Amino acid sequence: MIGFIIWFLCGLMFIGFGISAFRSKEAVGFWANAKVPPIEDVDAYNKAVGKLWCVMGLLFIVLGLPLLSGQNSPLILISVIGTFLEVIVVMIVYTIGIEGRYRKKQ
């Protein structure tokens, strides 16, 4: 149960990143310690990044539900593999979908 609570709080943290992105006036970064590329429409970009973080947080929480079945349950593999795949998909969506769409053309 404690594992799921920690997992749930991490999911809420991702949702918090999304809400923060919605409210930001400057372009928000997705990658840690990397400069944000020049963005054409900052509001639309921040809205897209905010949606991405919120959806990621919700999916992360859903993927943590197998933790409620117990610590030694083989269902935990669903959480681990699902999170691994989720992170890869989120990186692809950001790089190709969001950054590719809103980056200033030079």
Kindly list the domain boundaries of the chain, sorted by start residue. 2-102
pTM of the model as a whole: 0.88
Whether the CA torsion 18, 24, 30, 32 is positive or negative: it is negative
- The series of mean pLDDT values per 10 residues for the chain, 106 residues long, is 90 96 91 87 94 96 89 84 96 94 85
Whose tokens are 């999911």? That residue is 11
Token representation of residue 70: 């117990």
Rounded CA separation 57/23 (Å) = 17
Rounded CA separation 70/76 (Å) = 8
- Estimate the crossing angle of helix 76-92 against helix 42-63, to 10 degrees: 170
Which among 13, 39, 16 is positioned nearest to 28, based on CA atoms? 39
The predicted structure's pLDDT at residue 49:
95
Could you report the per-residue pLDDT of 47-58, keeping only the tens digit for each?
999 999 999 999
